Amino acid sequence: MRSGEPASDERTLVVPLNARGRTFGAMSLGWDAEDRHDDDGEVGFALDVARRAAIAIDNAQLYGAAAERAQAARVLASVGDGVFFVDRAGAIRTWNRAAAIATGLAASDVVDRLAVEAIPGWSAIVSRIEVASAGSAAPRPESLPLDLGGRELWLSIHGVAVPDGVVYAFRDLTEERALERMRTEFVSTVSHELRTPLAAIYGAAMTLRRSDVSIDELQRNRLLDIVSGEADRLARTVNDILWASRLDTDTLHVTIQNCDPLALVDQVVTAQEVHLDRSHRLLVDSAAEVPLVAGDPDKVGRVLINLVDNAVKYSPDGGSVTVRVEGAGSCVRFAVADEGLGIPPSEQRRVFEKFYRLDPNMTRGVGGTGLGLYICRELVRRMDGRIWVESPGLGRGSTFVVELPAAAGY
C-alpha cells in the first residue's frame, strides 16, 4: 500500500517451508492488489525465498540437535556409572564408556543389537531390575550377578522408563563383593585362628591346675611349652591384625635410616630359631660385602619375620629355610627360600592380596589369616622397595625376594 492513499484489497500468498522431504511450516507474503504485476514471477520468488528460509531453519535445528547430542555424549562419556538405553523393541541404542569398561563389551559390538543377544546373561536378570517411571523417585538399585560367560560381574542396577524405552544405570560392585566375601571369610578364619590356641592354652592350664592327677616334670614342661607356644601363636595373629589395621588407616609411619642388613637378618634368625622344631633348619647366606640399606629397621624386621614364619609354616615336612642377603645394583636384596609346598604360577600374583589364602587342598590345610604377605607388600612399598615370589610350582618350594634401596653413597 502507498502511504497516504486509502486502503485497498490486500492479496496474500502462502508457501510451504520444506526441507529433507518434510513440511514443517509455512511462510505468508502479502501485498496490495494494485501493486501486483507478474503472478508467475512473484510466486516463483516466494517459493525461492521459502526454500532458502526452510534450509536455513532446518540447518539451525540440525546444528542445535547435534550440539545437544554431542553435549549429552560428553556427559555420558564422563559419567562413572555405566549407562545404556534400550528401546521398546529391546535394542541397545546408547552404550557409554563406563559400561564398555565394566563389561568389556565395546559400543560397536552392542549398539543397534538386541540386548538379550548383545549382553551375555542379560535375559536372566532383566526381569529382576526395578524400573521407575520418568519423573518419579529413583528406584532402589538391585545387586545382581551378570554372567558374561568368562567371568561374573556384580551390578548395582536400576532403570528409568522413558517414552521410547528404558534407560539403565549401573555400578560395578564386583571388587566390593569380592572384598566383602574375603572379609567374611577373614572373620571366620580369625575366629578359628584365635579359638584354636585359646583352647590349647585353656586345656593345658586346666590340666596343670588339677590336683587329682599326678604330673611329672616332663609332662609339666610339655604343657608349659604348649601354653607358651600357643600364646606366641595367638600374639602373632593379633599382631598381624593390628599391623593391617594401621596400614589401612594410614597411621603406620616409616622412618628411613641407614641400617646394617646383616645385623637385621641375624636378629630375625635368632628370634625365629626359638620357635623352630627339630624338622626345620634356619640358615643364613650372605655376600662378602653388603651395602647398608635405606629402610626402617623395625619394618624391615617385620617383613623378614613374616617371610621366615611363612616359609616354616608352608614347609610342613620340614627342611631348610635359607635367608640370603646381597647387594643388587643400587639395592639390597633379601631372599627367603624354603623347600616346602610351593605356589602354582597362577596364584603367585594373588598371594600378596589382602585376606587371600591358597586353597587348603594345595596347602594340606595349613592355616593363616591371609594378612602376612599383604603386610609385607605394603611395608616394602612404603620403603620404596619391591617384593615378589618365585616358585617352580606345587611341591617345589618358594623364594620370596625383597629389594630395598641401598643407603646413599653405596
Instruction: Residue 222: give its domain's CATH number.
Output: 1.10.287.130
> Helix 372-382 vs helix 217-248: angle between axes, to the nearest 10 degrees?
50
pLDDT, position 119: 93
**Residue 334 predicted with pLDDT over 90:** yes
In this structure, is residue 338 part of a structural domain? yes
User: What is the pairing mode between strands 280-286 and 257-259?
Assistant: unpaired
Is 48 within the bounds of a domain? Answer: yes
pLDDT at 282 over 80: yes
Compute the distance between CA of residue 345 and CA of residue 121 in angstroms, rounded to an integer: 31
Verify that 62 and 107 share a domain, yes or no: no
- Is the pLDDT confidence value at 344 over 50? yes
Same domain, 64 and 102: no
**Who's near 331: CB < 8 A, 6+ residues apart?**
385, 403, 404, 405, 406
Same domain, 261 and 345: yes
95 has which bridge partners? Answer: 84
Between 318 and 134, the more confident residue is 318
Which distant-in-sequence residues (6+ apart) come within 8 Å of 61 by Cβ?
A: none
Poorest-pLDDT segment among 262-266, 329-333, 340-344: 340-344
Q: Buried (b) or exposed (e) across 336-349, using 16+ Cβ within 10 A?
A: bbbbbbbbeeeebe
Q: What is the DSSP letter of 111?
A: T
In a shared domain, residues 300 and 371: yes
Q: Is 4 a domain residue? A: no
pLDDT at residue 3 in the model: 45
The mean pLDDT value of the chain amounts to 84
- Residue 163, domain extent: 80-172
What is the share, in percent, of the chain residues with pLDDT greater than 90? 33
Model confidence, pTM? 0.59
Number of domains composing the chain: 4
Q: What is the dihedral of CA 272, 274, 279, 285, to 10 degrees?
A: 40
Digit-coded pLDDT (tens) for 132-155 = 887 676 677 888 999 888 788 999
| pLDDT tier for residue 298 given thresholds of 50, 70 and 90 | very high
Check whether residue 239 and residue 279 sit in a common domain: no
Long-range pairs for 108-111: beta carbons < 8 A, 24 or more residues apart: 110/84
Mapping DSSP to helix (H, G, I), strand (E, B) and coil, where does residue 373 land? helix
Question: What pLDDT does 106 receive?
Answer: 92
- Give just the sign of the alpha carbon dihedral 179, 180, 181, 184: positive
Same domain, 194 and 268: no
Tell me what the mean pLDDT of segment 46-69 comes to: 75
Residues 271 and 389 in one domain: yes
Q: Is beta strand 82-87 parallel, antiparallel or unpaired with respect to 165-172? A: antiparallel
Express each pLDDT in 198-234 by its tens digit.
Answer: 898 999 899 888 888 788 888 888 888 888 888 888 8
The residues facing 402 across adjacent strands are: 334, 387
Kindly state whether residue 192 falls inside one of the protein's structural domains. Answer: yes
Mean pLDDT of 53-78: 69
Query: Based on the domain organization, do 141 and 212 belong to the same domain?
Result: no
Residue 149 is assigned to a structural domain of this protein: yes
Q: What is the CATH number of the domain that holds 355?
A: 3.30.565.10
Question: Can you read off the three cell numbers belonging to residue 370?
Answer: 591371609
Same-domain check for residues 59 and 105: no
Same domain, 189 and 165: no
Q: Could you say which of 187, 217, 248 is where a domain stops?
A: 248
pLDDT at 292: 95
pLDDT at 4: 47
Query: The domain that contains 105 carries what CATH number?
Result: 3.30.450.20
Residues 94-127: tens digit of each pLDDT? 898 889 988 999 989 999 999 999 999 999 999 9
User: Is 42 within a domain?
Assistant: yes
- The stretch 6-23 carries a mean pLDDT of 73
Residue 279 inside a domain? The answer is: yes
Of 248, 265, 292, the domain-final residue: 248
- Residues 367 and 286 grouped into a single domain: yes
Q: Where among 172, 204, 237 does a domain terminate?
A: 172
Give 33's pLDDT tier (boundaries 50, 70, 90). Answer: low
The 10s digit of each residue's pLDDT in 351-400 is 888 877 766 555 555 666 778 899 999 999 999 999 999 998 777 889 99
Residue 3 lies in a domain: no
Residues 133 and 93 in one domain: yes
